[in-house]
Amino acid sequence: MKPIEIYTKSWCPYCHSAKALLRRKGWTFTEIDVTTDKEGQLEMTRRAGGRTSVPQIFIGDTHVGGSDDLYALEEAGRLDALAA
């Protein structure tokens, strides 16, 4: 399984939803909380190609995008293959 990283903010419902999907799948992930971390926010924005919204999810070297993107991959049956 590829490493999964998710940039979040503590108050973000989309972040909670994305983490819930990953947990339902039984996958471990690294959460990077950027609620008050300016450097972390800058790193997230750089890695995400300029996107500043949270969550920003990475599986291995692939930038998945946000919660809606994660759920779309799951619904399309492509999420498991991406993480394998």
Long-range contacts of 37-45 (CB under 8 A, 24+ apart): 40/7, 44/7
- Give the global pTM: 0.94
Q: How far apart are the first and last CA of the chain?
A: 5
pLDDT attached to residue 27: 97
Distances in Å between the alpha carbon of 5 and those of 8, 18, 33?
Answer: 10, 11, 11
CA distance 48 to 74: 20
CA distance 83 to 14: 20
Per-residue pLDDT of the chain (84 residues; tens, 9 = 90+): 999 999 999 999 999 999 999 999 999 999 999 999 999 999 999 999 999 999 999 999 999 999 999 999 999 999 999 999
